[in-house]
Amino acid sequence: MIVLEALFKLTYGMYIASSKKNNRFNGCIVNSVFQLTPDPLMVGMSLNKKSLTNDYITDSNVFGVSILSQNAPMSFIGKFGFRSGRDTNKFEQVNSQIGRTGVPIILDNTICFIEAKVTQTIDLVTHTLFIAKIVASQPIDRHGEPMTYAYYRDVKQGKTPEIAATYVAVKSKSQLGKKYD
Amino acid sequence: MIVLEALFKLTYGMYIASSKKNNRFNGCIVNSVFQLTPDPLMVGMSLNKKSLTNDYITDSNVFGVSILSQNAPMSFIGKFGFRSGRDTNKFEQVNSQIGRTGVPIILDNTICFIEAKVTQTIDLVTHTLFIAKIVASQPIDRHGEPMTYAYYRDVKQGKTPEIAATYVAVKSKSQLGKKYD
């Protein structure tokens, strides 16, 4: 018996994963970024294979993580979360600079930025789990608080696209608590 | 350049990972539990190889995750977080019941409980990353709020043991912001 309600109680953050392919940049909203080991500093990130950012990371083997500020406006999140970089250049009108790995470091609505080099990829059928070594990290806004996924969902009334690793297939509130076996 | 301060801004929860070996139970505090794919419902969890719970999961291929309530007292967290099951039976005086996978479902200070079967293990030198399919989940306390790692650290003044996946080797506050290259 799987009660889906239980899965909403796992805690996540709100991040933009960014990467590059040749001279192009792309990025998308992710929730599943987590430290795996403290020494060396390794992180894991799960990303849908359909996302263009997955394609870019697979090509360049590097990615960045913008830890979003609680004050990030929905328009900014929507730009990275609900559009594909195939149709639009998401970095237009976004302040950024090139990091040591070559990925774009996002300066807007970001409290900290991490750069990582992929050391291993795990095929999870619909998603890729990237295992990566942190090679750089820096505070961007020392006064900001990180936005949690709970804050995005409950306070900002944000939604989750179906391709997200943390998506749970609940079509309506009445389905919460529905039991599957 | 790695500014360690940045890594403290990643968002985590507070969980107890439980498992079994033969007729014995053990569990320990973890932060790195995260959904990897929505269909099938897969989770990842990183656990230090020194922990007895890692040994039990490796043996039984199943584990449970108690999503801790914000009201969980420090004495309860300390029981699972800062002691080894080699010296003590952590499940003494803890209300639990056996789940469908055989792991102990923790009923105290738990808002939801998840059971998972390991499908893949990734060796990360000091830690094991367990990739697992969720086979059961249930709410235990529908009125509780999940404890975040930030709440544990900032409000409850909690510490992190060195073997934790999310441990960052900062010996004093003055080292925060120290730059490594």
Interchain CB distance below 8 Å, B169 and A38: yes
Taking CA atoms, what residue in A is nearest to B162? A38
State the average pLDDT over residues A4-28.
92
Q: Out of A145-159, A160-174, B6-20, B121-135, which region has the weakest mean confidence (pLDDT)? A: A160-174
Q: Average pLDDT in the A154-161 region?
A: 83
Q: Hey, are the CB atoms on B12 and A7 less than 8 Å from each other? A: no
A155 falls in which pLDDT band (50, 70, 90)? confident
Asked if residue A177 has pLDDT above 60, the reply is: no
Give the whole-number percent of chain A exceeding pLDDT 70. 93
Residue A118 CB contacts under 8 Å (≥ 6 apart), including other chains = A57, A61, A62, A63, A130, A131, A132
Determine, yes or no, domain membership for B59: yes
Spatial separation of the C-alpha atoms in residues B34 and A44, rounded to whole Å: 10
Does position A170 have pLDDT exceeding 90, yes or no? no
Over residues A147-167, mean pLDDT: 85
Which of B1, B5, B7, B68 has the highest number of chain A CBs within 10 A, making it the mutation to test binding with A?
Answer: B7
**Nearest in space to B42 (alpha carbons), one of A61, A165, A20, A48:** A165
User: Does the pLDDT of residue B65 top 90, yes or no?
Assistant: yes
Q: pLDDT tens, B75-132?
A: 999 999 877 888 788 888 899 999 999 999 999 999 999 999 999 999 999 999 999 9
End-to-end CA distance of chain B: 4
Q: In this predicted structure, what is the pLDDT of residue B123?
A: 97
Phi, psi of B6 (to 5 degrees): -60, -35
Predicted confidence band of residue B135 (pLDDT cuts 50, 70, 90) = very high
* Interchain CB distance below 8 Å, A9 and B111: yes
- Which of A10, A165, A167 comes nearest B13 by C-beta? A10
* Alpha-carbon distance A134 to nearest alpha carbon in chain B (angstroms): 8
Residue A59 pLDDT > 80? yes
| pTM of the predicted structure, to 2 decimals | 0.90
The answer to the question of residue B178 being in a domain is: no
pLDDT > 50? residue B46: yes
Q: What is the mean pLDDT of residues A52-62?
A: 97
CB A166 within 8 A of CB A32: yes
Rounded to an integer, the average pLDDT of B23-28 is 93
What CATH number corresponds to the domain at position A36? 2.30.110.10
| C-alpha to C-alpha distance for B9 and B149, rounded to whole angstroms | 10
Predicted confidence at residue A179, as pLDDT, reads 44
Count of domains in chain B? 1
- The verdict on residue B137 lying in a domain is yes
| Mean pLDDT for the stretch of residues B12-39 | 94
Distance CA A130, CA A26 (A): 17
Q: What is the pLDDT of residue B169?
A: 64
Residues of B in contact with A139 (CB under 8 A): 3, 5-6, 177
Domain that includes residue A131, residue range: 2-180
Buried b (16+ CB within 10 A) or exposed e, B122-144: bebebbbbbbbbbbbbbbbeeeb
In a domain, B36, yes or no: yes
Instruction: Give me chain B's average pLDDT, please.
Output: 89
In a domain, B174, yes or no: no
Among chain A residues, the shortest Cα distance to B116 is held by: A2
The confidence band for A164, taking pLDDT boundaries of 50, 70 and 90, is confident
Tell me the C-alpha to C-alpha distance, in Å, between residue A175 and each of A179, B7, B39, B42, B71. Answer: 9, 36, 17, 20, 28
How distant is the Cα of A151 from the closest Cα of chain B, in angstroms? Answer: 12
In-domain check, residue B131: yes
The CA distance from B53 to the nearest CA of chain A, in Å, is: 16
CA-to-CA distance for A57 and A47, rounded, in angstroms?
A: 10
Angle at B83 between CA B78 and CA B89, to 5 degrees: 105
B36:A129 CB<8 A: yes
Asked if pLDDT for residue A176 goes beyond 50, the answer is no
B63 touches B25 (CB < 8 A): no
Q: Is residue B158 part of a domain?
A: yes
> So what's the pLDDT on residue A114?
97
The mean pLDDT value of chain A amounts to 89
User: Both tokens of residue B19?
Assistant: 């498992």
Contact check, Cβ <8 Å, B34/A41: no
Considering only CB atoms, which chain A residues are within 8 Å of B6?
67, 112-114, 137-139
What are the pLDDT digits (tens) for B145-167? 999 998 998 888 888 877 788 77
Q: List strand residue ranges (DSSP E) for B53-176, in order.
A: 62-68, 96-98, 104-106, 110-124, 127-139
Residue of A nearest to B149 (CA): A11
